[in-house]
Amino acid sequence: MDTNIVKRRLGAGNLEVSALGLGCMGMSFSYGPAADKKEMISVLRKAVECGVTFFDTAEVYGPFTNEELVGEALAPVREKVVIATKFGFGTSGISALNSRPDHIKKVAEASLKRLRTDVIDLFYQHRVDPNVPIEDVAGTVKELIKEGKVKHFGLSEAGVKIIRRAHAVQPVTALQSEYSLWWREPEAEILPVLEELGIGFVPYSPLGKGFLTGEMNENTTFGKTDFRNTVPRLSSENRKANQAFVDLLATVARRKNATCAQIALAWLLAQKPWIVPIPGTTKLTRLEENMGATAIVLTADDLLEIGTASSKIKVQGDRYSEGAAKLINR
Distance between CA 96 and CA 244 in Å, rounded? 37
Please determine, for residue 1, whether its predicted confidence score (pLDDT) is greater than 60: no
Whether the CB-CB separation of 309 and 223 falls below 8 Å is answered with no
What amino acid is encoded at 323 in this protein?
A: G
Distance between CA 49 and CA 47 in Å, rounded? 5
- pLDDT attached to residue 92: 63
Helix ranges, the chain (H): 37-49, 65-74, 101-114, 134-146, 160-169, 190-197, 236-241, 243-256, 260-271, 284-291, 300-311, 322-325
Of 31, 61, 124, 179, catalytic: 61
Q: How many residues does the chain have?
A: 330
- The model's confidence at residue 3, banded by pLDDT at 50, 70 and 90, is very low
Average pLDDT over residues 215-226: 93
Whether the CB-CB separation of 313 and 245 falls below 8 Å is answered with yes
Whether the CB-CB separation of 14 and 61 falls below 8 Å is answered with no
Q: What is the mean pLDDT of the chain?
A: 94
Identify the sign of the CA torsion 273, 181, 121, 137: positive
50-76 pLDDT tens trace:
999 999 999 999 999 999 999 999 999
Identify the sign of the CA torsion 11, 15, 21, 22: negative
Determine whether 61 is an active site residue. Answer: yes
Q: At residue 117, what are phi and psi to the nearest 5 degrees?
A: -140, 165
Strand 54-56 relative to strand 89-90, pairing: unpaired
Per-domain boundaries in the chain: 7-325
Distance between CA 164 and CA 79 in Å, rounded? 32
Distance between CA 271 and CA 195 in Å, rounded? 12
300-319 pLDDT tens trace:
999 999 999 999 999 999 99
Distance between CA 210 and CA 23 in Å, rounded? 13
- pLDDT attached to residue 324: 73
- pLDDT attached to residue 90: 84
Does domain 7-325 bear CATH number 3.20.20.100?
Answer: yes
C-alpha distances (whole Å) from 47 to each of 53, 155, 258, 291 are: 8, 25, 20, 9
* Residue closest to 274 by CA, chosen among 201, 193, 208: 201
271-289 pLDDT tens trace:
999 999 999 999 999 999 9
87-132 pLDDT tens trace:
999 866 556 899 999 999 999 999 999 999 999 999 999 999 999 9
Please determine, for residue 166, whether its predicted confidence score (pLDDT) is greater than 50: yes
Please determine, for residue 164, whether its predicted confidence score (pLDDT) is greater than 90: yes
171-197 pLDDT tens trace:
999 999 999 999 999 999 999 999 999
**pTM score over 0.75:** yes
- The model's confidence at residue 32, banded by pLDDT at 50, 70 and 90, is confident
Average pLDDT over residues 223-231: 93
% residues pLDDT > 90 (the chain): 90
Average pLDDT over residues 246-257: 97
Q: Which residues pair with 85 in a beta bridge?
A: 123
Whether the CB-CB separation of 190 and 175 falls below 8 Å is answered with yes
Please determine, for residue 330, whether its predicted confidence score (pLDDT) is greater than 60: no
